[in-house]
């Protein structure tokens, strides 16, 4: 029995999209598919994804707790007299509650928007977008000189956090080994408490800076550290293979099976 001759592909033929891509209307050559292969694998990738997810939820906790202790800071009251507890300000309790709770309204709309944004952008881009929106919101909060600006900034920040907190657990679960998935997600959730604790201690430390608006501006600005870390690190992580499948990018998904399983 004769051996069939080997087939030599020309460079042009090597660059043609696969039959699978063609069936889905995708013009993707193999070189582009290979470029999506993750550089991190196994435990290193598991640790990197857990770090980014943990940073996102620590940020969530920090933002939840940072504002509450600032309401009674003398420099905060000097900048925003609407919250001063005095008979001349009968609505102070309402306004204090409002500036805290309005952040959660932003979180709600951010999370709901993920029903449309998340599947279009993918997990990584949605997390990066949420971090970018939060960074803008943090800057607006830090530079606030009016109650209206602070309110808008809180809504803006909450919207970004809603995007992050509704995406991070999904991304983390899809990129984690099945045997460790539940444990890692639970640890991620407990980091909310760590974020709240960090916020309270920073507020307490700066409470005694009674001669400068840095008393309340610095705690609000420090959330930028978490946001910059998260935005930077997510750029080095691969997209979720499950999202590639849902987006019909099957060659990407097959070329990049869950790297934590390898």
Report if residue 185 sits inside a domain: yes
Count the neighbouring beta carbons within 10 Å of the beta carbon of residue 211: 9
Q: Each residue of 28-77: pLDDT tens digit? A: 555 554 455 556 666 788 888 999 999 999 999 999 999 988 988 889 98
Measured between alpha carbons, how far is 127 from 122 in angstroms, rounded to an integer?
A: 9
Pick from 246, 247, 245: nearest CA to 255? 245
CATH of residue 153's domain is: 1.20.1250.20
If you average pLDDT over each of 115-124, 143-152, 243-252, which comes out highest? 143-152
Q: What is the mean pLDDT of the chain?
A: 81
Report if residue 34 sits inside a domain: no
Domain span holding position 133:
40-251
Report if residue 26 sits inside a domain: no
Please tell me the least confidently modeled range out of 12-16, 113-117, 256-260: 12-16
Tokens read off for 173: 């679960």
Percent of the chain with pLDDT over 90: 45
Report if residue 23 sits inside a domain: no
Count the neighbouring beta carbons within 10 Å of the beta carbon of residue 16: 14
Pick from 241, 197, 247, 191: nearest CA to 38? 241
Report if residue 107 sits inside a domain: yes
* pLDDT score for 40: 60
Measured between alpha carbons, how far is 96 from 82 in angstroms, rounded to an integer?
A: 8
pLDDT at residue 250 greater than cutoff 70: no
Report if residue 24 sits inside a domain: no
Report the phi/psi class of residue 226: left, alpha or beta, with left for phi > 0 and alpha for psi in -120 to 50.
alpha
pTM exceeding the 0.85 threshold for the entire prediction: no
* pLDDT score for 6: 46
Higher pLDDT: 175 or 14? It is 175
DSSP classification of residue 89 = -
Report if residue 103 sits inside a domain: yes
pLDDT at residue 225 greater than cutoff 80: yes
Report if residue 156 sits inside a domain: yes
Over the range 193-207, which residues count as b (16 or more CB within 10 Å of their CB) and which as e? eebbebbbebbeebb
Residue pair 123/172 in contact (Cβ under 8 Å)? The answer is: no
Domain count along the chain: 1
Q: Each residue of 142-182: pLDDT tens digit? A: 999 999 999 999 999 999 999 999 999 988 888 887 778 78
pLDDT at residue 116 greater than cutoff 60: yes
Residue 25's pLDDT band, with cuts at 50, 70 and 90, is very low
């Amino acid at each position: 029995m004769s051996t069939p001759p080997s087939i030599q592909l020309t460079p042009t033929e090597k660059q043609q999209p696969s039959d699978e891509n063609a069936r889905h209307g995708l013009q993707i050559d193999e070189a582009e598919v290979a470029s999506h292969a993750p550089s991190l694998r196994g435990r290193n990738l598991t640790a990197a994804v857990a770090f980014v997810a943990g940073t996102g939820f620590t940020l969530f906790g920090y933002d939840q707790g940072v504002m509450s202790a600032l309401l009674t800071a003398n420099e905060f009251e000097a900048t925003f007299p609407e919250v001063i507890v005095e008979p001349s300000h009968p609505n102070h309790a309402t306004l204090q509650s409002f500036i805290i709770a309005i952040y959660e309204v932003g979180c709600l709309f951010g999370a709901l928007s993920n029903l449309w944004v998340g599947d279009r952008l993918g997990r990584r881009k949605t997390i990066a977008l949420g971090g970018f929106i939060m960074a803008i919101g943090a800057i607006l909060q830090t530079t606030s000189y009016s109650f209206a600006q602070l309110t808008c900034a809180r809504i803006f920040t909450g919207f970004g956090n809603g995007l992050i907190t509704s995406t991070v657990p999904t991304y983390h679960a899809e990129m984690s080994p099945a045997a460790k998935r539940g444990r890692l997600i639970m640890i991620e959730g407990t980091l909310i408490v760590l974020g709240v604790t960090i916020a309270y201690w920073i507020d307490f430390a700066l409470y005694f800076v009674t001669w400068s608006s840095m008393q309340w501006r610095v705690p609000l600005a420090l959330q930028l550290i978490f946001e910059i870390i998260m935005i930077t690190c997510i750029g080095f992580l691969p997209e979720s293979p499950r999202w590639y499948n849902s987006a019909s990018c099957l060659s990407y998904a097959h070329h990049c099976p869950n790297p934590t399983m390898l």
